[in-house]
Structure 1
Amino acid sequence: MYEYRRTKTTVSLLNYHFVFCPRYRRKIFLKSELEQRFKELVHELCAELKIEIVAIECNKDHTHMILNALPTLSPADIMAKIKGVTSKKLREEFPHLLHLPSLWTRSYFVSTAGHVSSETIQRYVEQQKTRG
């Protein structure tokens, strides 16, 4: 499930657990087509950046992701790219989001996840849909 990432000079296993919210904690993911499009955009961007998506799930007003990235990208760089691209494209495709001054808050939660704890975090992320 988790593989070490190998480049010419390094071997790494960097799993990040990210959580972030829309501005004003709006419940934007109530519409399944918006959630699906968000996930598609994240998959496209992560493929370009050579980031492996371990898990991604959206709740009504926030999203969880576990990403395996190379050490050349910092968590701040990853979030800036994901938030920037998804905000621009989702607001173009879903006009009802245009009334927000920005789609995402500037803040986010990130933690590193080792090999053992990643499985626990992945279960937590995947269970977000079943929680109240």
Structure 2
Amino acid sequence: HLFVEIHPTDAIFQVIKAFKGRSSNYLRKEFPELKKLPSLWTSSYFFSTAGNVAADTIERYINDPHHG
């Protein structure tokens, strides 16, 4: 899970692309054997808005090992 706050005018696909690209670069630097793979991530993703739920409620859900 990633719990991020973005500006309403930011395109979600661009935020996801940035996360995937940056993490791929870091992982490939740390683990050179990953350079053999054409891609580390699929093109799919899921997002949802928090609405009127408090941030600490979402964080507790993410950190709870029994929810998934």
TM-score (norm 2): 0.75
SS of the residue 2:5 aligns to = strand
Q: Which runs of 5+ in 2 are unaligned?
A: none
Number of aligned residues: 68
RMSD, matched Cα: 2.4
Correspondence 1:79 to 2:16: yes
The letter of the residue matching 2:44 is S
Q: Which runs of 5+ in 1 are unaligned?
A: 1-63
Map of 1:1-132 to 2, 5 A cutoff? 64-116=1-53, 118-128=55-65
1:88-123 deviations in whole A, cap 9, x for unaligned? 221122123223221111101100112326443322
Range moving further from structure 2, 77-86 or 116-125 = 116-125
- Bigger strand share: 1
Higher relative contact order (CA 8 A, sep 6+): 1
Percent identity between matched residues is: 46
Displacement after TM superposition at 1:69 (Å): 1.1
Whole-angstrom CA distance in 2 between matches of 1:123 and 1:73 = 26
Structure 1 stretches (4+) deviating beyond 4 angstroms? none
